[in-house]
Homo-oligomer: A and B are copies of this chain.
Amino acid sequence: MAKDDLASIMKEYPYMPLRDVVFHTLRRAIMQGDLKPGERLMEIKLANRLGVSRTPIREAIRMLELEGLVTMIPRKGAQVAEITEKDLKDVLEVRIGLEELAVKFVCQRINRQQLEELHRAARSFEEAVRSEDLTRLAEADVNFHDLIYKATGNERLVQLLNNIREQMYRYRVEYLKDEEIRSSLIQEHNQLWEALKDRDEKKAARITQEHIERQQEYILENIMAADRKSE
């Protein structure tokens, strides 16, 4: 079918404005720590480095600014936003609230098919843990949570949660590298699935909260360590 061919070609060569390429490039660089907090983002240098003109750079910076990843100093330019412990605490407080809200909705709205999908996702996460393949593991984790998000039936909530989850990368989550944590994650996923299946809002909320709080402790230790090192 010609139409399908075209569609697949479109998927292979999706048109993307340079601003979006730059946006994602810079975003990733900030998240991964290649661009460090406080570092200036100078348009000409970035433009030369990425082989584009200033225009797409500027548009990307506007987007990063609105995401809070860079802060603007008038007539001085953009710099990578600082991250403080307070920031992290604030974000995670909000995240807990939103994740609890999400599982509440899921309990109310998830259907059998979605439950099955979620079950499969939990299983493939387990397999990924056993495979010791970190990339696959991360994907499986994202997939599991994506399914939960989708089951909320609330697009805005999904959008907010995805954004927060991406921001978590900034806090150097090398969480999944820890052996002990990986196996406890399996248990958490299974428990969460059970709670959602039983539509037990309270239990689901509790598991979610504990899940994130554990992550928070872990990240705080890491940040503390990183901060001490850099001082």
Query: Which residues of A are at the interface with B, using a C-beta cutoff of 8 A?
Result: 15, 17, 19, 55, 58-59, 62-63, 65-68, 74-75, 86-87, 90-91, 93-94, 97-98, 101, 105, 154-157, 159-160
Contact = CB atoms under 8 A, between A and B. Distances in A.
A94 B157 contact: yes
Point out which of A62, A101, A160 has the most chain B C-beta atoms below 10 A from its C-beta. A62
Given A74-B15, A97-B97, A98-B97, A156 B62 contact: no
A8 B66 CA distance: 28
Contact of A59 (B59, B105, B155, B156): B59
Given A19-B62, A90-B157, 4 more contacts: A63-B63, A86-B155, A94-B98, A94-B101
A113 to B, nearest CB: 21
- Give the interface SS of chain A, mostly helix, strand, loop or mixed: helix
B105 A154 contact: no
Give the number of copies in the complex. Answer: 2
Nearest to A59: B62
Nearest to A158: B90
A166 to B, nearest CB: 13
Nearest to A97: B101
A94 B105 CA distance: 11
A209 to B, nearest CB: 12
A82 to B, nearest CB: 13
A90 B154 contact: yes
Given A98-B97, A101-B97, A90 B156 contact: yes
A15 to B, nearest CB: 5
A15 B157 contact: no
A151 to B, nearest CB: 14
